[in-house]
């Protein structure tokens, strides 16, 4: 018995790991180029020649998102054969990539429907790029949670994954509308989306924190919903109910923690009027920290 075999690391396992890694690398490279193809531009030119920081942030969010999704495809027991492992990894990876792109499309057309996101990013709008990257990462966190929840590779599995994905996009839209309503009440019915279009990076950071936090709390629902491949309706209802509960709970706890951590600071004035990126970064950190704690507690 060799040194590696003593720890359960055999040659077949190493080959399977190599297959997973190779497929992951190919998909990550593909995602970078898809960013350019999607908006009909040369990604190399945007990143290196035009030095478009916004395009770089958006691309970084997409690549990070795919990496998160791939961890959901990789995590678990190895398949019975190399071919099965390659097919499974490729199927989950490509499906995850498609869902990320679909999620970003839905976020652009439904959640942030008052401006053309791609046009703003190509113009170099950092605020819009930050929100776009956060939306991709939030969607990826959700997809990963669903991949970990589902089992096997069947049509029913992909239907279950897609159902949970649709619910998550609905929750993201509800969160965005809630944050827009809060912003309008504090700013004489001004539009939060218009503020993002005008380049308010502090506002973008705060909103990004809420989206990522929502995605992390969405993960908690997977601990309460039993995976039944053919239970299409109950799966959707289960994800929807637990997601709304977690969203409400998260919002309340975040508000309490912000009152304590940022006591004596007028958050609306600092972020929305003075565009204080430092305060917004702290708010973002608080949102994500609260979501991580709640997710750990629910687990």
Query: At residue 4, does pLDDT exceed 60?
Result: no
The larger pLDDT score, comparing residue 83 to residue 180, is at 180
Tell me the C-alpha distance between 218 and 213, whole Å: 9
Residue % of the chain over a pLDDT of 70? 93
pLDDT in tens, 130-159: 999 999 999 889 888 887 777 666 777 778
Residue 149 in tokens: 């929840």
* Residue 293: closest CA among 255, 259, 240, 254: 254
Residues 183-233: tens digit of each pLDDT: 999 888 899 999 999 989 999 999 999 999 999 887 777 777 777 777 777
Euclidean distance between CA atoms 235 and 217, whole angstroms: 17
- Whole-number Å distance between alpha carbons of 112 and 106: 9
Asked whether residue 82 carries a pLDDT value surpassing 80, the answer given is no
Calpha distance 287→290 (Å, rounded): 5
CA torsion, points 272, 276, 278, 283, in degrees to nearest 10? -10
Instruction: Supply the pTM of this predicted model.
Output: 0.87
Helix residue spans in the chain (DSSP H): 11-38, 43-44, 53-74, 82-106, 117-122, 126-149, 155-186, 192-197, 201-221, 232-261, 267-268, 277-298
Total Cβ atoms within 10 A of residue 83? 10
Q: In this structure, what token pair is assigned to residue 197?
A: 């279009």
Give the 3-state secondary structure of residue 130.
helix
What pLDDT is attached to residue 117?
87
- Residue 288 — pLDDT band, cuts 50, 70, 90? very high
């Amino acid at each position: 018995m060799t040194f590696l075999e003593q720890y359960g690391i055999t040659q077949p396992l190493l080959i399977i790991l190599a297959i997973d890694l190779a497929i992951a690398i190919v998909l990550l490279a593909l995602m970078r180029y898809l960013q350019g193809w999607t908006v009909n531009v040369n990604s190399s030119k945007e990143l290196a020649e035009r030095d478009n920081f916004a395009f770089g942030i958006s691309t970084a969010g997409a690549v990070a998102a795919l990496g998160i999704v791939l961890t959901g495809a990789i995590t678990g027991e190895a398949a019975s054969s190399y071919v099965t492992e390659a097919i499974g990894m490729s199927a989950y990876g490509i499906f995850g990539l498609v869902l990320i792109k679909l999620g970003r499309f839905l976020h652009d057309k439904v959640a942030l429907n008052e401006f053309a996101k791609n046009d703003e990013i190509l113009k170099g709008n950092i605020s819009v790029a930050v929100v776009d990257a956060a939306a991709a990462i939030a969607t990826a966190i959700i997809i990963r949670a669903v991949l970990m929840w589902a089992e096997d590779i069947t049509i029913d599995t992909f239907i279950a994954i897609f159902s949970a994905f649709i619910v998550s996009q609905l929750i993201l839209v509800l969160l965005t509308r809630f944050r827009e309503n809060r912003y309008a009440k504090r700013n004489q019915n001004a539009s939060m989306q218009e503020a993002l279009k005008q380049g308010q990076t502090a506002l973008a950071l705060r909103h990004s924190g809420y989206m990522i936090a929502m995605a992390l709390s969405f993960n908690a629902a997977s601990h309460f919903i039993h995976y039944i491949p053919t239970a299409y309706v109950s799966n959707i209802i289960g994800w929807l109910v637990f997601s709304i509960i977690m969203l409400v709970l998260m919002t309340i706890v975040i508000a309490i923690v912000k009152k304590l951590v940022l006591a004596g600071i007028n958050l609306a004035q600092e972020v929305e009027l003075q565009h204080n990126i430092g305060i917004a970064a702290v708010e973002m950190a608080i949102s994500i920290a609260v979501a991580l704690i709640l997710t750990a507690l629910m687990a």
